[in-house]
């Protein structure tokens, strides 16, 4: 056998031995890792509301750090977010009344409030005409004299048969709606002193007649015969009857 053939033979044996050693090392590493692996179903974690020996107090759920505030919940201005001052309904707008705010309030009111309260706020909305419980009439003395925080609180927490609208209306939008409700109240209870000195004032019945509208167009509002008290006992349950010309029909009765 020639010398270079012997050298090649030795080199081949060495390479085969090296590959074998590498393969054995890889197999040993795989076996080692397999013995130490941790499946997803066997991962270290704390189960909610379950105790643990890891912490000295035995609780897995850790208390929040002192003065922790959740995102978007830093409500430093209590009145802006609740409409309450020292536990009572406050009065006053916590934001500037601009044309943009009024327009936004009108838009949100027409979307969320008119189905029950109607476009003019007399409580005779479309679903009331379909038999739902009469909604609040903003033009009663009680609500004309109510503080602004009352309307904000009602939208935030609900009132009687009315659910809350905190999810639909942001605090800014709720205050905008409050501003628009005040504008509606002024529109239906304006005094001569509320208008400009050179403004022309006409009685509503005369305007209706000049426009060819029905004779009763300017009469006080009244509920249709389909409006009912939607309570099991047919009582107010703390919600005053709206004095709007005709009383709401009681369950089982009809109105002409």
The fold for domain 97-194 equals Cytochrome Bc1 Complex; Chain D, domain 2 (1.10.760)
Answer whether residue 208 shows pLDDT above 60: yes
Q: Is pLDDT of 145 > 80?
A: yes
Give the chain's mean pLDDT. 79
Give the Cα-Cα-Cα angle 236, 242, 248 (nearest 5 degrees). Answer: 70
Q: What is the pLDDT of residue 234?
A: 54
Q: What is the pLDDT of residues 183-202, one digit of tens each?
A: 999 988 888 788 888 887 77
* Residue that wins the pLDDT comparison between 201 and 8: 201
pLDDT reading at 25 higher than 70: yes
First to last CA, the chain: 127
Q: Which tokens belong to 65?
A: 């750090």
Tokens 């044996």 belong to residue: 13
Q: Closest Cα partner for 189 from 146, 145, 150, 139?
A: 139
Phi first, then psi: what are they for 40, rounded to 5°? Answer: -60, -30
pLDDT of 154 reads: 96
Query: Is the separation of the CB atoms in 254 and 225 below 8 Å?
Result: yes
Contacts of 200 (CB under 8 A, 6+ apart): none
Measure Cα distances from 162 to 76, 132, 159, 223 in Å. 28, 11, 5, 18
Q: Return the bridge partners of 249, or none.
A: 228
Query: Which H helix or E strand runs over 111?
Result: helix 99-112
- What pLDDT score was predicted for residue 193? 81
Each residue of 67-113: pLDDT tens digit? 888 887 777 788 999 999 999 999 999 999 999 999 999 999 999 99
Tens-digit pLDDT profile for residues 148-193: 999 999 999 999 889 999 999 999 999 999 999 999 999 888 887 8
Instruction: Give the phi and the psi of residue 89 in degrees, each rounded to 5.
Output: -65, 125
What average pLDDT score do residues 24-31 get? 71
- 249 within 8 A of 228, measured Cβ to Cβ: yes
């Amino acid at each position: 056998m020639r010398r270079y053939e012997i050298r090649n033979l030795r080199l081949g044996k060495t390479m085969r031995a090296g590959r074998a050693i590498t393969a054995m090392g890889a197999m040993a590493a795989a076996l080692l890792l397999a013995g130490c692996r941790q499946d997803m179903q066997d991962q270290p974690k704390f189960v909610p509301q379950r105790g643990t020996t890891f912490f000295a107090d035995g609780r897995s759920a850790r208390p929040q750090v002192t003065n922790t505030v959740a995102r978007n919940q830093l409500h430093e201005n209590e009145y802006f977010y609740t409409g309450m001052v020292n536990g009572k309904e406050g009065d006053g707008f916590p934001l500037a009344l601009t044309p943009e705010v009024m327009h936004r309030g009108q838009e949100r009111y027409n979307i969320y409030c008119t189905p029950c309260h109607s476009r003019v706020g007399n409580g005779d909305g479309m679903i009331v005409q379909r038999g739902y419980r009469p909604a609040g009439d903003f033009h009663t003395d009680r609500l004309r004299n109510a503080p602004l925080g009352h309307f904000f609180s009602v939208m935030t927490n609900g009132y009687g048969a009315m659910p809350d609208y905190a999810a639909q209306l942001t605090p800014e939008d709720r205050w905008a709606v409050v501003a628009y409700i005040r504008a509606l109240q002024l529109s239906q209870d304006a005094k001569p002193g509320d208008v400009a000195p050179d403004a022309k004032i006409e009685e509503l019945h005369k305007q209706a007649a000049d426009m060819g509208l029905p004779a009763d167009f300017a009469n006080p509002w009244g509920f249709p015969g389909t409006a009912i008290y939607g309570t099991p006992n047919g009582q107010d349950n703390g919600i005053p009857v709206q004095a709007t010309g005709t009383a709401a029909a009681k369950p089982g009765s009809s109105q002409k």
